[in-house]
Amino acid sequence: MKLSSKLAMLLVITLLATILTMSFTFYIQSKEFYRDHLTKQLEHRLVAHAESIENHFVIDTILHVLKMEKEDTVNFLLFDEHLTPLVMAQPIDADLIEAYHIWIEQIIDTTVLHPSIKQPITDYVSIREHPIQHIWSMKPIYVNERVKGYLFIDQDMREFETTKNNILQLVFIMSIIIFIVGLLFVLYLTRVLTKPLQMMGRATNQIAQGNFEYEIQTTANDEVGRLAQDIQQMSNQLKRYNNTRKQFLSHISHDLRTPLTYVKAYAALLKDREENDTLCKKQAEMIYKQAKNMEVLVNDLFELAKYEEGNIQLHKDVVNLYSWFHDLKLDFDLKLQQENIKLKLEIENNEWSAFFDKEKMKQVVKNLIENSIRYTPNGEIQVRIEKNEQLQQLDISIQDNGQGIPESELPFIWERFYRVDKSRTSKNGGSGLGLAIVKHIVELHGGTITVESKPGFGTIFTIVLPQGTGLKED
């Protein structure tokens, strides 16, 4: 998962959790606040009515109080001291009056009542016949410190339920709006934070592939901006180093070729002299052999320098693959016989043709086969040529059953002068530049080369060449 996705997910989850927590807290607090407010308002009314009746315990005062509480959502009653209903603000079902009677009776039995207690007794009740919760509140009526009755009020909480639903709806709408605004901000923030990092990731990948021309465009002055500037500075320094190295390879190759030519030429003259000087002739042969080895090294250096400078031009043409390989195989027949190695070709159709630089690809395959011969005594080398019409590509694989390459060495075999045999003797290796040149030639064709190997079982090199450039049949 990308860093931007992780960061966005973390911020969204945090935002969502914060919104849910705040919304739930706001809803609970608002609901409790409104219910407490409704309860206090009801109790205040009940106390005021009780005081009025206690001060003027006459029918006019009682009727006036009943008239004030004549509402659809309120049942207002006055019981006598024996809990017999005296008056009520509006008709009430007998079963409901009986429920009031039982509730007041339970309070009388379980609570100490005294004229000095001004606070009414209140409870929240839910009755099966009434799904909406009700507030029941009761206050004894005292005259000359004796109980003359009980003032009771039943307030349904329909208005509270409506307000609660409105609060819930408001909280939901606010949460959606806050979430959308927060999500847009999170997406913008993650884009702002991760875009420079993605750009630097692409830049470092390009630098790792040797493209030092890639530039990081940034105007930030923060830590990310300074990191981008440091990476750009590193790229510029690597570019200067790479150019210096290329120039060195080019110059050293050129400077070594001339004296080597003279050494080789004069050694050849000494070697071919007819005088019977065995020691002189032997030494001349040694000079000639070493000069020839150095010439191969210098030529490889010179060729590699040209590839790295981009000074190599391909001369592509349509090539019959079967004939091309058999011409190439002639160069190895003697060596294969000496080493007792079998070289086999697998190709489905002898008429297949491909489009590439015939000589350059010959150099590639020859180098890979030479490596296989060197490390596969008394073994077998198999060259397989396949085409993939769907992907428009040509696959060439060179497989041997030789000693193989350790897995830890595989990432480095393409580096110049790198050899698995660290002794660097000429017995089991060339200049150490062959595979580096092979890789350059294949990539110059727009292709790829990969290697698989297991010590004791052998090695497979696979070349893949795009053939939008011309995989054909004659």
Taking only the tens place, the pLDDT of each residue in 433-443 is 788 889 999 99
Span of 78-92, 164-178, 279-293, 414-428 with lowest mean pLDDT = 414-428
Q: Are residues 302 and 322 in the same domain?
A: no
Q: How far apart are CA 269 and CA 122, in angstroms?
A: 127
H helical segments located in 111-222: 158-208
Q: What is the pLDDT of residue 251?
A: 60
Residue 440: inside a domain: yes
Q: How far apart are CA 326 and CA 324, in angstroms?
A: 6
Q: Is the pLDDT of residue 73 over 70?
A: yes
What CATH number does the domain containing 132 carry? 3.30.450.20
Rounded to the nearest 5°, which phi and psi values hold at 473?
Answer: -120, 140
Q: Are residues 325 and 395 in the same domain?
A: yes
Q: What is the DSSP string of 199-268?
A: HHHHHHHHHHTT-TT--------SHHHHHHHHHHHHHHHHHHHHHHHHHHHHHHHHHHHHHHHHHHHHHH
Q: How far apart are CA 81 and CA 92, in angstroms?
A: 20
The three-class DSSP label of residue 416 is coil
Average pLDDT score, the chain: 80
Q: Is 46:151 a contact under the CB 8 Å cutoff? A: yes
Q: Is the pLDDT of residue 382 over 90?
A: yes
Q: How far apart are CA 190 and CA 7, in angstroms?
A: 7
Q: How far apart are CA 244 and CA 376, in angstroms?
A: 39
Residue 31: inside a domain: yes
Residue partners of 257: CB distance under 8 A and separation at least 6: 295, 298, 299, 302
Structural tokens at position 262: 């003279």
Q: Are residues 465 and 330 in the same domain?
A: yes
Residue 188: inside a domain: no
Q: Are residues 468 and 340 in the same domain?
A: yes
Rounded to the nearest 5°, which phi and psi values hold at 125?
Answer: -125, 140
Residue 45: inside a domain: yes
Q: 83-115 in b/e burial notation, b at 16+ Cβ within 10 A?
A: bebeebbeeeeeeebebbbebbeebbeeeeeee
Residue 92: inside a domain: yes
Residue 185: inside a domain: no
Q: Are residues 116 and 152 in the same domain?
A: yes
Instruction: Name the DSSP class of 88.
Output: E
Q: Are residues 141 and 233 in the same domain?
A: no
Residue 260: which domain range?
223-309
Q: What is the pLDDT of residue 34?
A: 77
Place of tokens 């150490």: 432
What CATH number does the domain containing 261 carry? 1.10.287.130
Q: What is the pLDDT of residues 202-237, one digit of tens each?
A: 788 877 777 777 777 776 777 777 887 888 888 788
Place of tokens 């000639």: 288
Q: Is the pLDDT of residue 269 over 90?
A: no
Q: How far apart are CA 39 and CA 137, in angstroms?
A: 9
Q: What is the pLDDT of residue 471?
A: 45
Structural tokens at position 43: 């109790």
